[in-house]
Amino acid sequence: MKILSLPINILTLGLFNIVINAGMLWMVDLILKGLRVEGFWGYIWSSLVISIISIVVSKIVFFRRKKD
């Protein structure tokens, strides 16, 4: 998926990843009955929060690996 979306990610400076994450959340919402996300903007905001958390966690893990 990353290779297929690489050209559009380059053009949008990586912002297309948020759209990809929103699509993945939509698919998970279809499969899991316990997850409820309302509307397009709900998916966009949720994917933005997930992206920010992912960046923070990866920075923490990288910092700990570099420290050791």
Going residue by residue through the chain (68 aa), what tens digit of pLDDT does each one get? 668 778 887 888 888 888 888 999 999 999 998 888 888 899 999 999 998 999 899 999 887 777 66
CB 18 within 8 A of CB 48: yes
Give the tokens for residue 64.
């700990």
Token pair in block for residue 30:
């279809």
Residue 21: both structure tokens together: 């994450």
pTM of the model: 0.69
**What Rg do the C-alpha atoms of the chain give, in angstroms?**
15
Q: How far, in Å, CA of 49 to CA of 64, rounded?
A: 23
pLDDT value for 66: 72
Give the pLDDT of residue 13: 85
